[in-house]
Amino acid sequence: MTSVRSVTVSSGLSIDRVSGLINEARQVPSPNCDDRPEDAAIDLVVVHSISLPPAEFGGPWIDALFTNTLDPQLHPYFREIHRMRVSSHLLIRRDGELVQYVPLHRRAWHAGASCFAGRERCNDFSIGIELEGTDEDPYEVAQYQRLAAVIAVLEKVYPEVTRDRLAGHSDIAPGRKTDPGSAFEWARLEHELERIA
């Protein structure tokens, strides 16, 4: 690690090493996080998808879920999930807006029971990024561009995050999770990463 406090990449995003915050993200602090194990190096990015209510986009409901303020009276589905204590480090909305819930150096509660390359408890060593979307609906170009920009700056700050350490939630929790689904184009993400390299 260098002594430089902020790291910026050509995509324009920058991470404050001390706070663990992406400076350009809208900050919505979630209480659903804790400290990573002392020996856990961040070396995995997990891509998820989320929409609330299911298959509906926009609105404040994802923020509300991750901050434990989801009103169960507003939608039948919310009655099923409003007591869940979950979070993600980041959310990328359909228009590319970047929202941060948990500082990158802390453990967000996004992966659940999970395993990557023989290591369980992926929350310990991963950064979780939610895309506003569903398994079946195509993701927006703005989302791929923003996701690539985020990964590029993460690679600068966490050198153990490499292109072969990007996974979908379905990859680390097969049979239990299906996101980001068949609609997510890994080749398009790779193209965007090459474009900004």
Q: Which residues are annotated as catalytic?
A: 130
The 3-state secondary structure of the chain, one letter per residue: CCCCCEEECCCCCEEECCCCEECCCEECCCCCEEECCCCCCCCEEEEEEECCCCCCCCCCHHHHHHCCCCCCCCCHHHHHHCCCCCCCCEEECCCCCEEECCCCCEEECCCCCCEECCEECHHHCEEEEEEECCCCCCCCHHHHHHHHHHHHHHHHHCCCCCHHHEEEHHHHCCCCCCCCCCCCCHHHHHHHHHHHC
